[in-house]
Amino acid sequence: MDRAWIPEGVQRCSAGAFYSWMALWLFVLGAAVTTALLILWKGLNQTNMNDYFGFGAWITADLGVIALGAGAFFSGFLTYVVRIKELKALINFAVIIGFICYSSALLILILDIGQPLRCWFGYWFPNIHSMLTEVIFCITLYFTVLTIEYVPLILENRKIYANPVAHTLSHNFHEAMAIFAAIGTFLSFFHQGSLGGMYGVMYARPFAFREGFFVWPWTFFLFIFSAISTGPTFTILITMILQKVTKKRLVPRESLSVLAKIAGCLLCGYVIVKIADTYYWATHILPARGLTFAQQYHGYQYGMWLPYVEIGLCGVIPAIILITRRLRENDKWLVLACALASFGVVLNRFIFTVQTLAMPVLPFDKWYIYFPSWQEWVTSMAVIAYGAVIISLSYRYLPVFPYERDLNPPAR
Amino acid sequence: MSEHQEVASKEKYGMVIDLDKCTGCGACTVACLSENNHYVREDESDKLHSVTWMKVYKVTNGEPFPNTKVAFIPRPCMHCDHHTPCVSVCPVMATDYNPLTGIVSQIYTRCIGCRYCVGACPYHARYFNWWDPVWPEGMHKLLNPDMSPRMRGVAEKCSFCNHRLQKAKDKAYVEGRKELKDGEYVTACAEACPTRAITFGNMKDPESAIAKLIKSPGAFRLLEKLGTQPKVYYLSNESWIRELGDNALGRKKRGGLA
């Protein structure tokens, strides 16, 4: 039925199977849109946030997907600026993942602010001292860059490409892609950093506060480092999942191995820096404010297990797997390492977002527990359905993987 | 960290709360709610959603009976003087530090409701409007015309009854004066306190009551180690209360919420 829209020389499932698959995800997405409308209508009282937890599941989800979406800019940087040719097989898909991550983050942010109709105030009345201003500017600009990177791929759809205007436009976009990759890298570095800076500058919140270099607290650099080391692992993870679902090899194994090796080296560096940061925070920053490391953790939800899981299980272990050639060449180990690293960066963002606010600063105050409402869960989890819809459409109708035909020759 | 712009001014308003005089009656909280047009929902039992610019904490010394001691700590906004945490983080400049008076105030019509200020404030003095403000039938006639009600989805905080300062200045202008007398501008909470535990005034006026009180030996501020330089001071002769004002390493006994 839609054969003419599918790229030439590749095999796709039947239209019926595809539409059934899409119907499932669109149903989930529909439920999330309905919930979002409920929130916009009734207000943020539909969440379990309160005056202690001004940030919650949505900011965690935002920061998590933005970190995971860093695979797009970093792969773009490695492909177009450093010119690692193996990554050309992956770059289109990395851009799509980045586009999904950033667009969903912006959609969640619209829900998260109390006055969505004033969202443009961030550009109109910018406070140049606020890290959030930098985040607002860089994220929207980088989302524009991602859209510019995604558009040529859409124009390469078989039917659209037949149009001479689309053909010329697509060609010219490709010519300029290295420039956009460089701009994207610059913008992404800054906003990944600004997101970390948002917490590090809160000097009256000892759990998050960090000293730093010039106007940038150490969290600024830690967030960049964690994003560029775990973003590529998420790109690898989603590629492996897609290969599993489609039962095809879509990118050469070597491409995944090269990216995994780079991510592994970066993750090693990040883990070392993160441990050093935690040590300095525990031995200098906290005592200067009359606090101890142990006081920063409490009970089960905010317990001492968090740093062990975040840095140990989801940092040290995947780093070792990824830098060990024998392990990263094994698909199962690679998936495990990428899943752990991806989960670790989301956990890191959760800790900085929620635990920062949970830890009582006033000596006579107590810990409070935050658990998201069903409305927060549904809208946050909708990112998965949204991603599935975009990836499914892109995979079926666009030439996302340039080596797919070579890797899957038609059966004789 | 950037300092606030230094402006030659003869005014810097602050507050002193004598905890040894505070009975925890809550008159300050009620006066604040009334003065500043706060709405009250049918069920206000969830205190993490209640807007109380002046919140009264009940604390104990942590000792078992019969050595238990109890005190009340009224907590307005501290109007931090150094790198005010909520001012620097606001992405849309909806929180303002007035260098002429030292008062930190909120521009409700500019706030986008991102709640970064709520997270940045260690005193929990910032509140978010989770609901639309609704008053019982006819009660809107009792609203204070000098204070704007806030809409759903914006942050708010104690303003040291900034509108009263405007009124006092208007009155002084009509009377041909350029400066206010001590006690001419006071907050609603200070006015309502039955034991006169709250003193409000110009800290830069050496003759003012507050300028003398902040030099008292029992004066302290909350979380001084953070360096926020609050303009709200507390007084107490009880050492355990003064110790509760800040975190300290190696403290053997720790009091807390009653």
Over residues A220-231, the pLDDT tens digits come to: 999 999 999 999
- Using an 8 Å Cβ cutoff, are B159 and B166 in contact? no
- Angle, vertex CA A306, rays to CA A207 and CA A73, nearest 5: 80
Q: A323-340 pLDDT, tens per residue?
A: 999 999 999 999 999 999
The mean of the pLDDT values for chain A is 94
Alpha-carbon distance of B82 to B224, in angstroms, equals 11
Quote the minimal CA–CA distance from B190 to chain A in Å: 23
CB-facing half-sphere around the CA of A130: CA atoms within 13 A: 27
| pLDDT recorded at residue A92 | 93
| pLDDT recorded at residue B2 | 44
Res. B253 pLDDT band, cuts 50 70 90: low
Quote the minimal CA–CA distance from B199 to chain A in Å: 23
Q: Indicate yes or no: CB of A289 within 8 angstroms of CB of B111.
A: no
**Could you tell me if the ipTM is greater than 0.90?**
yes
Residues of A in contact with B244 (CB under 8 A): 363-364
| pLDDT recorded at residue B8 | 78
Res. B254 pLDDT band, cuts 50 70 90: low
| pLDDT recorded at residue B4 | 63
By percentage, how much of chain B surpasses pLDDT 90? 84
Q: Indicate yes or no: CB of B123 within 8 angstroms of CB of A291.
A: no
Q: Indicate yes or no: CB of B256 within 8 angstroms of CB of A129.
A: no
Q: Which residues contact A307 (CB under 8 A, 6 or more apart)?
A: A278, A351
Q: Indicate yes or no: CB of B124 within 8 angstroms of CB of A50.
A: no
Which tokens in the block code for residue A273? 């820096």
Instruction: Give the pLDDT of chain A (412 residues) as one tens digit per residue.
Output: 788 899 988 889 999 999 999 999 999 999 999 999 999 999 999 999 999 999 999 999 999 999 999 998 899 889 988 999 999 999 999 999 999 999 999 999 999 999 999 999 999 999 999 999 999 998 898 899 899 889 999 999 988 988 999 888 888 887 888 888 888 888 888 889 999 999 999 999 999 999 998 889 999 999 999 999 999 999 999 999 999 999 999 999 999 999 999 999 999 999 999 999 999 999 999 999 999 999 999 999 999 999 999 999 999 999 999 999 999 999 999 999 999 999 999 999 999 999 999 999 999 999 999 999 999 999 999 999 999 999 999 999 999 999 999 998 876 6
B245-250: average pLDDT:
87
Alpha-carbon distance of A154 to B27, in angstroms, equals 65
Dihedral of the alpha carbons of B218, B223, B227, B231, in degrees to the nearest 10: -60
- Ordered by where they begin, the domains of chain A are 14-360+367-396 (1.20.1630.10)
- Using an 8 Å Cβ cutoff, are A50 and B52 in contact? no
> Which residues 160-179 on chain B approach chain A with CB closer than 8 angstroms?
none
Q: Which residues contact A7 (CB under 8 A, 6 or more apart)?
A: A157, A158, A397, A398, A399
Q: Indicate yes or no: CB of A364 within 8 angstroms of CB of B73.
A: yes
pLDDT at B250 over 80: no
- Using an 8 Å Cβ cutoff, are A92 and B49 in contact? no
Alpha-carbon distance of A4 to A314, in angstroms, equals 44
Residues of B in contact with A55 (CB under 8 A): 115, 119
Could you tell me the fold of the domain covering B13-253? Alpha-Beta Plaits (3.30.70)
